[in-house]
Amino acid sequence: MDADVLVVGCGAMGSQAAWQLASRGRSVIAFEQFYPGHDRGASGGDTRIFRTIYGEGPQYVPLLLEAQRRWRELEEISKEVLLTLTGGLMIGPENSEFIRNLRACVQEYQLPHEVLGLDEARRRFPQHRYLESDVVILDPQAGYLRPERANRAALRVAAQLGATIKFPSEVTSITATKGGVEVTTDDGRYRAPQAIVTVGPWILRLFPEYGRYLSPRRLIQPWFLADNPEAFAPARFPIFCRREEDANFSGFPSIDGGMVKTGTNDTYESDSVLDPDHLSRVTPLADLDRVTAQVTTYLNGISGPPARVTNYADAYTTDLHSILGWPRAGLPVYVMAGYSGHGFKLASAMGVVAADIMIDGTSSLPIKHLSLERFSDQSSLGG
Ligand SMILES: Cc1cc2nc3c(=O)[nH]c(=O)nc-3n(C[C@H](O)[C@H](O)[C@H](O)COP(=O)(O)OP(=O)(O)OC[C@H]3O[C@@H](n4cnc5c(N)ncnc54)[C@H](O)[C@@H]3O)c2cc1C
């Protein structure tokens, strides 16, 4: 055997898995087809939102709190600034699932928060244009992460703890072998008792059967010029997530003193990306019109169309929750896939889950809602 664990793919999840495994004394070989901190996968684009009051459901709160602790731990060890808290405004209609979930998070976990009346919201955060039906909740533990820097920092720390990070090194096959698993790359074959696969939107290349539950999709990230950049500085403009009938998008304060980045949360069939290697970085004009309409409808002081825009891909599952599990009987490979546009903030907790599973076969973190078994036709799977 060449290592205790092989990690295939070193973006958000793989870099954290490598760090956690190495920090628990396991020997690790991790493979990355590009290079640490690259921007070609789901982790590209400068910033990612972190929040703890979670519109996707209260079941995530313990994972988010664990993630927050681990991001701070990684900052401490790596001496890098990775998570900046700005607070976060969650805005949506009272009767929406989004707001119901936010309320459930604060009630079940007693999370610090403020519910702002519309007059107060207009006074404190005039950059938003509110609807009379809106509920506004401020999450003081929200902010933004630096994804490329975080991935690179986790891999650097993992390497300092003894992990081998191989790059550029594309894994082209993963097979069961006597007592474990063998992966093939362009420079050789490597064996270990177990492997973690964290290849983001490339998952169908190694595990085409995941096409039943997910598809790689394009997400547009536009940066808009602010009329008055001061009004969008991190101290005055918290990150936000907004769900309205005609808009589902998020945004960041201006961290370069000029532009405000937003992100669409919706994806469409037309956003399906057959091969993430051939994802076009050029955004069609019709899509620019769509994102510009959202932003100029709901934000004051932003001029469209965007000054900068690019596309990245993430793997989207049919229920928008990621999939963790052992997909093939007899193959000791644990796959973590399908983070559906909201996985980055969780990555540091997912590294803990990966290490727990590899070392103890189970994790005390609540991940049942993410299990592969939730897809009913998976009853025969296991490994
Ligand atoms: C535009 C956009 C905005 C987003 N905004 C947010 C946000 O604000 N907050 C949030 O929490 N989440 C957000 N997300 C989601 C989050 O970034 C992703 O869910 C997360 O990065 C997924 O991590 P991953 O490890 O699965 O994939 P990736 O980070 O893409 O990592 C996969 C890695 O595997 C490597 N790889 C693939 N195949 C192979 C192979 N065969 N051999 C070796 N290496 C391989 C790739 O090169 C890559 O480095 C956003 C996603 C996108 C695309």
| pLDDT tens, the chain, 383 aa long | 999 999 999 999 999 999 999 999 999 999 999 999 999 999 999 999 999 999 999 999 999 999 999 999 999 999 999 999 999 999 999 999 999 999 999 999 999 999 999 999 999 999 999 999 999 999 999 999 999 999 999 999 999 999 999 999 999 999 999 999 999 999 999 999 999 999 999 999 999 999 999 999 999 999 999 999 999 999 999 999 999 999 999 999 999 999 999 998 877 767 888 789 989 888 889 889 999 999 999 999 998 899 999 999 999 999 999 999 999 999 999 999 999 999 999 999 999 999 999 999 999 999 999 999 999 755 434 33
Please answer whether residues 260 and 302 qualify as being in contact, where contact means their C-beta atoms are separated by less than 8 angstroms: yes
Please answer whether residues 7 and 18 qualify as being in contact, where contact means their C-beta atoms are separated by less than 8 angstroms: yes
Pocket test for ligand 1, best of 199, 275, 346, 348 (most atoms within 8 A of CB): 199
Residue 61 host element (H or E):
helix 61-78
CA–CA separation, 92 vs 94, rounded Å?
7
Q: Residue 342, class by beta-carbon neighbours within 10 Å (0-12 exposed, 13-18 middle, 19+ buried)?
A: buried
Determine if ligand 1 sits within 6 Å of the CB of residue 351: no
Return the closest-CA partner of residue 262 out of 102, 49, 41.
49
CA–CA separation, 106 vs 122, rounded Å?
23
User: Is the four-CA dihedral 248, 252, 253, 258 of positive or negative sign?
Assistant: negative
First-to-last C-alpha distance (Å) of the chain: 19
Q: Which domains does the chain have, with CATH numbers?
A: 5-44+147-211+319-378 (3.50.50.60), 85-142+214-317 (3.30.9.10)
Please answer whether residues 48 and 145 qualify as being in contact, where contact means their C-beta atoms are separated by less than 8 angstroms: yes
Residue 119 host element (H or E):
helix 118-124
Q: What pTM does this model have?
A: 0.97
CA–CA separation, 126 vs 299, rounded Å?
9
Closest-CA residue, ligand 1 atom 51, reads 341
Residue 305, preceding peptide bond in cis (omega within 30° of 0): yes
Which pair of structure tokens corresponds to residue 52? Answer: 């703890």
Pocket test for ligand 1, best of 38, 202, 262, 281 (most atoms within 8 A of CB): 202
